[in-house]
Every structure is written in C-alpha cells, then in structure tokens.
Amino acid sequence: MRQIDKYIQLLIDEYKKQLSKPNPKWPPDVQKALIGIHDHLFDQKLTVQWLLKNCYISNKNFSGKFKYYVGFGVKQYILTHRLQLSKKLLLKCENHRLSISEVGFEVGFSNYASFNRAFNKAFGSPPGKWLKGSGNEAASESE
C-alpha cells in the first residue's frame, strides 16, 4: 500500500469517527440506514437503491422519514459528507500529488465530471479553482 493510500485512509477514518450516531429514539429503519450509510459512505456502490436493498428497508415513505429525522434526504446526506471530505483531502493531500479526480474517486464519485459538477454546485467553483483561490483560504480559517 502506498504511503498516500495510508494517509487517505487515516483521514477517511477520522472523518467517519466524527459522524453522529443514530438517535436510539429514531425508527429502526432510519437507524439502520444511517449506520449503513456511514459504513459505506465513500463507496461508489452506495446509492439509495443499494441502501434500501442491503439494509432490508421498505421504500414506502422512507425518504421523507429519513429527512424528517436526519434533516437531509438520503442523497443529500451522502453528497454533503462526500463533498466535505473532498475539501479536506484536496487541502491535506495537495503536497502528496493526489489528483483532483483521485480525490473524487476516494470520496465515492465514479468519474471526474460528476465530482466536478457536484463540487462546483455546492461551493461555487470547481475543485481546482477552489483549491488555488479563496476556497483554500476559507477552508484554512474554518479548521
């Protein structure tokens, strides 16, 4: 395993530790889904359909129920966390020569175009421009 791979895995593990645990008062299917999401958050295979199938959750009203308890829809929850980790990886791995597309892949995007589009929509600029410009300074201040 390359040194950078160990470093990325360490950053991923640290990020996952900071995720909030499901509230025990929530319905069991919401708790199960949140645990499933956290376990596979950065896997490309993680989709709403995959989650429902692999966590044995009925699709009936599930998205609304998840949003009610968690505060985000399932897709938005996954996307938000993937993009937040991508910012950390972009900043912390800049000196390790990790490409932007590799960062996107590490956080669960299947291709550069979808990562670039989602990042740009969420943060107002594509990852390369964000890294070179004001995004880098803003991220350093927020840590």
**How is residue 93 written in tokens?**
């791995």
Q: For the whole model, what pTM was predicted?
A: 0.88
Q: What tokens does 42 get?
A: 């950065």
Q: Are 54 and 91 in contact (CB under 8 A)?
A: no
The one-digit pLDDT tens for each residue of the chain (143 residues) are 566 688 889 999 999 999 999 999 999 999 999 999 999 999 999 999 999 999 889 888 899 999 999 999 999 999 999 999 999 999 887 766 788 999 999 999 999 999 999 999 999 999 999 988 854 554 444 44
